[in-house]
Amino acid sequence: MNLKSVFVFLVILIVLSACSGGGEERKISLENVIQSMETQGLKVFPIHLKGGKSHFGELNHVTAVTYAIDTYSMDKLPQTSPDSSLHTDAVNVYIFIFDSEQAQNVGRKNLDEKLASANFVTIPSVYEKKNVLVVHFKLPDEKVEYDDMIKKAVKNL
């Protein structure tokens, strides 16, 4: 009888621990996204928008953290100043970190609505995984590899 009680207790313990594991999904942080980009060889630096907010800077009440690809150091161009990466003011990477994957899905729908009403020569690349949404506006003189690096970085999160 005592062995049966121990067995029933172990079964209940296993069932309870299996049920408790699926409640909360792991959220991806901004630091995870930047680290993944750096692992792919992509160098970005934070940049603040000049002259106010962008039409695409907020989705589903989440404000993007804005970055520019550091083409100076990535292309190995000679630096003319101690920090030549500051010579650009073009924000071309928007990273949104939502509270959940569901909120990110709503943010993506919001982005799609904004893109439908805008007239772009080039449509931005959009990459998403779990609670993260990354929007990349490719600049005219930018290398195609940069977009591939962003795509791989988000995929590997």
How many CB atoms lie under 10 A from the CB of residue 29?
13
Q: Does a structural domain hold residue 115?
A: yes
pLDDT digits (tens, 9 = 90+) for 66-115: 999 987 777 655 544 444 444 455 779 999 999 999 999 999 999 999 99
- What H or E segment, with its residue span, contains residue 68? strand 65-69
Q: Number of folded domains in the chain?
A: 1
In a domain, 79, yes or no: yes
* Residue 122: per-residue pLDDT: 78
Q: Which tens digits make up the pLDDT trace of 120-140?
A: 777 899 999 999 999 999 888
Looking up tokens 């988000």 gives 154
Residue 33 domain flag: yes
Beta strands (DSSP E) in 25-64 are 44-46, 58-59, 62-63
Does 20 reside within a domain?
A: no
Residue at 100 is within a domain: yes
Whether 12 is in a domain gets the answer: no
pTM of the model as a whole: 0.77
- Residue type at 2? N
What's the domain range around 134?
26-155
**Is residue 19 classed as helix, strand or coil in its secondary structure?**
helix
